[in-house]
């Protein structure tokens, strides 16, 4: 982590926006597109991130009990990813990677940031976010929902490129908006401003209003839902977290509903309803074909309530169930309806994708780890081969083609995911040379991304 303390003007000068900047490749119009339509120049961009939604929790990924017609409609009308991965198996690391387009290790956020308000910790404002570069390119920017990459005021979203923010900095009760320490946690920009209502519905409502207010200019809207993270509370439940008391007991942490899976189902369906409202707003305003909407989860599902389908492992693990997540790209008229991609992609790929679509400039010298997905989204092109990495606590993982090396302390496990998505057949002993080669790549990557980094842990 680099030291904080820059003013906005000093920050822009430091990173070179508006001065010594470069333009992302792939900007502007494409010569190709479905149905022979003229491609959209500088589309609106909406990122919708669910929290702790498992790979098998929604209909289009095989769930037969939870009703998610709106998310399923996105898949039917767009591109569904079968090999999309969160950068981390828990919240804050993935969000840092999304914001910066780089491995979260580079900015020191590798674990979940603590939720106690007294700690002034977070991602330094010197880090360059997708909101910064899109705002500099003329986009209106907003974040509604969960931030969780720093505490106000030093590390607020409004100091990292977002024109407006409404939502929460960490965890909270969906009804009382109180966190586990008993403090109010519902903010407007850098101030606590209470608002009544179910958290998921409030976040959706703010997103709808933002679209309405910015329908005549390019906008980038980041809807970062707290759903379906615990406490597991449906829209009609009562609040579990109380003001002024420690709510950290196991019961308070997860919610008081005895049937937790029923609550989880209601939460998922409320999330789906909110996504339907966003699509309806775009459709009503004639913006549906002018907007790329990307939906995903920040990590795998929780082991108590979620389904990760055929995957082994859950949230917090570097097994596939911890980081292979549902993801859908929806852009009618540009992305082929009903398409499915098995390209291996990650959260950090969205920054360069958004920058390319927005014709945004990057500061000279900034190297992104993510890749631009625009050619794949528009024209179905394959991505260049690459090696991808994860690290969380004492575990690591390397992905190279279908091969995945899982590092757990001194133990090494190797899986061929093309034949074994459930990671049941460990091939490490029969593929010793492959294990050693992939381990060497991991060591080099680890040294490169952590050089000179100050760790920020809560």
Give 301's DSSP letter.
P
144 touches 166 (CB < 8 A): yes
Burial 56-74 (b: 16+ CB within 10 A, else e): bbbbbbebeebebebbbbb
Q: Which of 153, 148, 118, 115 is nearest to 247 (CA)?
A: 115
Helical packing angle, 91-100 and 350-357, nearest 10°: 30
Phi, psi of 250 (to 5 degrees): -55, -40
91 labelled catalytic:
yes
CA–chain centroid gap for 241, Å, is 26
Catalytic residue among 148, 214, 302, 323: 148
Q: Which two tokens stand for residue 125?
A: 């404002």
417 touches 71 (CB < 8 A): no
Quote the CA–CA distance of 379 and 410 in Å, as a whole number: 43
19 touches 13 (CB < 8 A): yes
Q: Which of 42, 229, 220 is nearest to 143 (CA)?
A: 220
Q: Which of 317, 300, 309 is nearest to 395 (CA)?
A: 317
Q: Which of 198, 191, 183, 199 is nearest to 242 (CA)?
A: 183
- Return left, alpha or beta for 292; rule: phi > 0 is left, psi -120 to 50 is alpha, else beta: beta
Q: From the CB of residue 451, how many other CB atoms can be counted at a distance below 10 Å? A: 9
Query: What would you measure as the largest C-alpha separation in the chain, in angstroms?
Result: 60
Q: Which two tokens stand for residue 243?
A: 């003001």
- β-partners of residue 400 are 387, 403
Give the DSSP per-residue string, 8-67.
HHHHHHHHTTTSSEEEPTT-S--S--GGGPPPPSS-EEEEEEESS--TTSSGGGT-SSS-
Catalytic residue among 91, 175, 302, 323: 91
CA–chain centroid gap for 357, Å, is 18
Cis peptide upstream of residue 322 (ω within 30 degrees of 0):
no
Active site residues: 91, 148
């Amino acid at each position: 982590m680099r030291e904080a303390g820059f003013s906005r003007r000093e920050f822009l000068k430091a990173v070179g926006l508006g001065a010594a900047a470069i333009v992302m490749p792939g900007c502007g119009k494409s010569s190709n597109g479905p149905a022979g339509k003229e491609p959209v120049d500088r589309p609106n961009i909406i990122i919708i991130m669910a929290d702790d939604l498992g790979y098998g929790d929604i209909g289009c990924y095989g769930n037969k009990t939870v009703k998610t017609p709106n998310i399923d409609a996105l898949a039917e009308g767009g591109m569904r990813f079968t090999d999309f991965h969160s950068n981390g198996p828990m919240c804050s690391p993935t969000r840092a990677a999304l914001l910066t387009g780089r491995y979260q290790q580079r900015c020191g956020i590798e674990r979940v940031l603590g939720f106690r308000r007294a700690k002034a910790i977070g991602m330094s404002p010197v880090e360059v976010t997708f909101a910064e570069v899109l705002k500099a390119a003329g986009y209106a920017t907003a974040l509604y929902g969960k931030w969780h990459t720093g505490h106000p005021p030093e590390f607020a979203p409004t100091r990292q490129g977002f024109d407006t923010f409404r939502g929460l900095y960490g965890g909270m009760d969906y009804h009382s908006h109180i966190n586990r320490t008993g403090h109010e946690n519902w903010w407007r920009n850098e101030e606590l401003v209470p608002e009544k209502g179910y958290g998921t519905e409030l976040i959706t409502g703010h997103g709808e209003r933002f679209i309405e207010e910015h329908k005549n200019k390019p906008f980038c809207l980041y809807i970062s839902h707290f759903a379906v993270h615990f406490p597991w509370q449906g829209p009609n439940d009562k609040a579990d977290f109380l003001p002024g008391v420690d709510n950290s007991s196991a019961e308070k942490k997860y919610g008081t509903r005895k049937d937790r899976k029923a609550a989880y189902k209601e939460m998922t369906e409320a999330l789906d309803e909110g996504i339907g409202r966003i699509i309806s707003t775009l459709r009503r305003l004639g913006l549906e074909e002018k907007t790329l909407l990307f939906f995903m989860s920040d990590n795998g599902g929780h082991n108590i309530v979620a389904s990760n389908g055929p995957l082994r492992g859950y949230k917090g693990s570097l097994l596939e169930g911890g980081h292979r997540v549902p993801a859908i790209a929806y852009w009618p008229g540009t992305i082929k309806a009903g398409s499915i991609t098995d390209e291996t992609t990650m959260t950090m790929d969205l920054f360069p994708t958004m920058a390319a679509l927005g014709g945004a400039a990057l500061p000279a010298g900034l190297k992104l780890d993510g890749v631009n997905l625009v050619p794949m989204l528009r024209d179905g092109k394959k991505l260049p081969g690459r090696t991808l990495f994860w690290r969380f606590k004492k575990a690591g993982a390397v992905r190279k083609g279908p091969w995945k090396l899982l590092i757990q302390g001194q133990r090494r496990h190797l899986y061929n995911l093309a034949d074994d998505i459930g990671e049941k057949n460990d091939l490490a002993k029969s593929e010793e040379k492959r294990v050693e080669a992939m381990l060497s790549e991991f060591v080099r990557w680890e040294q490169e991304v952590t050089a000179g980094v100050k760790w920020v842990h809560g």
